[in-house]
């Protein structure tokens, strides 16, 4: 509550007591003293002073002042509640200390950030230090990395509050920039990776072509030409995948039409069959019976399933088996691709859907992968209001499941 409101109430309360006492005693001097005090109070508050003429006008004026005090208290309470609710909606944490250094307010976000069980002590210590520094320096800031789990990055800024004459307190603003930091890292990695991915085959193409122009042996020349073809195909695949990813990212709301899950599975398997036969991989398909449908873009769904199947074939041992299945579980349609290949280490599971991220860089170079397939799968799932689930253990294989919502009109 504002100080002037508290003072206002106290003065009015004293005046009420004085009126009662004066009325009981019936003393003229008491009434005169009360008249003078009310006049002084009215002047301080910018109100009209009471008229002389006995106790009745004084009581009427006192009643008026009491009403104004109650109205001021109500407005102050409404303002305080409104301000607290507004600060609670902020995505940043806000902590305000008074002139004595005591915490007078902490919004809901600040409470959530400071009560993080993994980083509460470090965050609280940093905020305390920065608040103290702000008293002496006027402001201070710091970036705090909390390694979790989950990993968090907080920026904490403090500033002195004053009215131009004296300090009134300090304020701390706490912001969770973990997602922003992660996106910046992904963007930097993408620029570096796409430059490297294109530079490597293009550099190889130039070197092979230069060697081919001076190579007299037709057998070696044929081998060099074959390498040139391989590198050119690799560049073409990278560009095609980049174009597909760009198209899928831009189609946040793809064409919505009934699409047969059975046909999506069959088309994706057919597209990867040649690569599977080359490595003697058997593809076992378990189609849903009766057939089921989803609402979405058939082209995007086939692209996502093809990427999952291509990865399964690539990272499975020769003469292995890849299983693709479709089913309906609790109103969701699940399309899964399972293999018994090399699997994925637990440390890499959070990053495998990033563009150009590879678990085994050497093996990816050998197999010619672009590192964009799982990123395409993730965006297709997002565009269809679904998700991708992965269950993998290093050395035991992986199961990727594309989960899509099934429209009510097609539910069993």
**Average pLDDT score over residue span 37-54:** 58
One domain for residues 112 and 184: no
Residue count of the chain: 412
Residue 25's pLDDT is 47
Peptide bond into 25 cis (omega under 30): no
Identify the weakest region by mean pLDDT among 35-49, 226-240, 250-264, 311-325.
Answer: 35-49
Residue 36 binned pLDDT confidence (cut-offs 50, 70, 90): low
Task: Among 30, 51, 86, give the residue marking a domain's end.
Answer: 86
CA distance to 215, 295, 335, 401, 402, per residue, from 388 (Å): 50, 17, 10, 6, 5
Residue 402 binned pLDDT confidence (cut-offs 50, 70, 90): very high
One domain for residues 388 and 262: yes
Q: 157: which strand partners?
A: 141, 173
Q: Into how many domains does the chain fold?
A: 4
One domain for residues 305 and 381: yes
User: Percent of the chain at pLDDT above 70?
Assistant: 71
Q: What is the DSSP letter of 270?
A: H
pLDDT in tens, 309-363: 988 888 888 888 999 999 988 888 999 999 988 888 887 777 788 776 666 655 5
Residue 71's pLDDT is 65
Is the pLDDT at 75 greater than 70, yes or no? no
Residue 411's pLDDT is 47
**Average pLDDT score over residue span 57-72:** 62
One domain for residues 229 and 259: no
Residue 412 binned pLDDT confidence (cut-offs 50, 70, 90): very low
Residue 58's pLDDT is 54
Question: What gap in Å lies between CA 254 and CA 147, rounded to an integer?
Answer: 38
Range of the domain at 100: 90-176
Residue 1's pLDDT is 47
Pairing between β-strand 103-106 and β-strand 139-146 as defined by DSSP bridges = unpaired
Q: Please give the torsion angle defined by the CA atoms of residues 240, 241, 242 and 244, in that order, rounded to the nearest 10 degrees.
A: 90
Identify the weakest region by mean pLDDT among 74-78, 122-126, 280-284.
Answer: 74-78
pLDDT in tens, 296-308: 888 889 888 988 9
One domain for residues 321 and 369: yes
Number of Cβ within a 10 Å radius of residue 240: 12
Q: Please report the sign of the dihedral spanned by the C-alpha atoms of residue 197, residue 201, residue 202, residue 204.
A: positive
Phi and psi dihedrals of 125, rounded to 5? -65, -45
Is the pLDDT at 400 greater than 90, yes or no? yes
pLDDT in tens, 101-121: 788 788 888 877 776 665 667
Residue 220 binned pLDDT confidence (cut-offs 50, 70, 90): confident
Better-scored residue on pLDDT, 13 or 146 = 146
One domain for residues 65 and 137: no
One domain for residues 40 and 151: no
Look up the CATH number of the domain holding residue 110.
3.30.450.20
One domain for residues 128 and 44: no
Task: Among 231, 250, 269, give the residue marking a domain's end.
Answer: 250
One domain for residues 7 and 69: yes
One domain for residues 113 and 7: no
One domain for residues 161 and 56: no
Q: 95: which strand partners?
A: 106, 172
**Average pLDDT score over residue span 354-380:** 67
Task: Among 176, 201, 218, give the residue marking a domain's end.
Answer: 176
Is the pLDDT at 373 greater than 90, yes or no? no
Look up the CATH number of the domain holding residue 402.
3.30.565.10
One domain for residues 267 and 387: yes
Question: What gap in Å lies between CA 346 and CA 149, rounded to an integer?
Answer: 14
Question: What gap in Å lies between CA 212 and CA 204, rounded to an integer?
Answer: 12
Q: In what order do the strands lie in the sheet with 103-106?
A: 103-106, 93-97, 167-176, 152-162, 139-146
Look up the CATH number of the domain holding residue 243.
1.10.287.130
| pLDDT, averaged across the chain | 77
pLDDT in tens, 177-213: 888 888 787 777 767 767 766 777 788 888 888 888 8
Residue 230's pLDDT is 79
């Amino acid at each position: 509550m504002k100080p002037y409101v508290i003072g206002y109430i106290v003065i009015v309360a004293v005046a009420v007591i004085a009126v009662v006492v004066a009325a009981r005693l019936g003393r003229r001097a008491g009434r005169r003293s009360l008249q003078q005090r009310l006049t002084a109070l009215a002047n301080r508050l910018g109100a009209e002073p009471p008229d002389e003429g006995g106790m009745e006008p004084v009581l009427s004026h006192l009643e008026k002042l009491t009403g104004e005090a109650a109205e001021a208290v109500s407005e102050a309470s409404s303002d305080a509640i409104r301000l607290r609710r507004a600060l609670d909606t902020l995505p940043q944490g806000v902590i305000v200390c008074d002139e004595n250094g005591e915490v007078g307010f902490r919004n809901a976000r600040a409470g959530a950030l400071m009560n993080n069980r993994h980083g509460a002590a470090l965050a609280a210590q940093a905020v305390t230090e920065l608040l103290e520094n702000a008293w002496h320096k006027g402001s201070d800031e710091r970036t705090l990395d909390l390694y979790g789990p989950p990993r968090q990055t907080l920026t904490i800024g403090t500033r002195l509050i004053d009215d131009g004459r004296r300090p009134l307190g300090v304020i701390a603003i706490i912001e969770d920039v973990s997602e922003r930091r992660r996106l910046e890292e992904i963007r930097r990695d993408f620029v570096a990776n796409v430059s490297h991915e294109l530079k490597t085959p293009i550099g190889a193409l130039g070197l092979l072509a230069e060697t081919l122009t001076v190579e007299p042996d037709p057998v070696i020349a044929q081998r060099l030409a074959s390498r040139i073809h391989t590198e050119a195909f690799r560049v073409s695949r990278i560009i095609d995948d980049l174009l597909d990813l760009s198209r899928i990212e831009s189609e946040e709301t793809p064409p919505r039409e009934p699409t047969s899950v059975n046909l999506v599975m069959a088309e994706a398997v057919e597209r990867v069959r040649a690569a599977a036969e080359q490595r003697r991989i058997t593809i076992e398909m378990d189609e849903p019976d009766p057939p089921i449908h989803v609402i979405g873009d058939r082209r995007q769904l086939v692209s996502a399933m093809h990427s999952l199947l291509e990865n399964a074939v690539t990272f499975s041992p020769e003469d292995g088996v890849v299983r693709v299945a479709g089913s309906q579980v609790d109103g969701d349609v699940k399309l899964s691709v399972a293999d018994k290949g090399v699997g994925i280490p637990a440390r890499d599971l959070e990053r495998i859907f990033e563009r150009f991220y590879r678990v085994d860089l050497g093996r990816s170079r050998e197999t010619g992968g672009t590192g964009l397939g799982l990123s395409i799968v993730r965006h297709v799932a997002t565009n269809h209001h679904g998700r991708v689930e992965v269950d993998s253990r290093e050395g035991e294989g992986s199961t990727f499941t594309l989960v899509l919502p099934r429209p009510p009109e097609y539910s069993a």
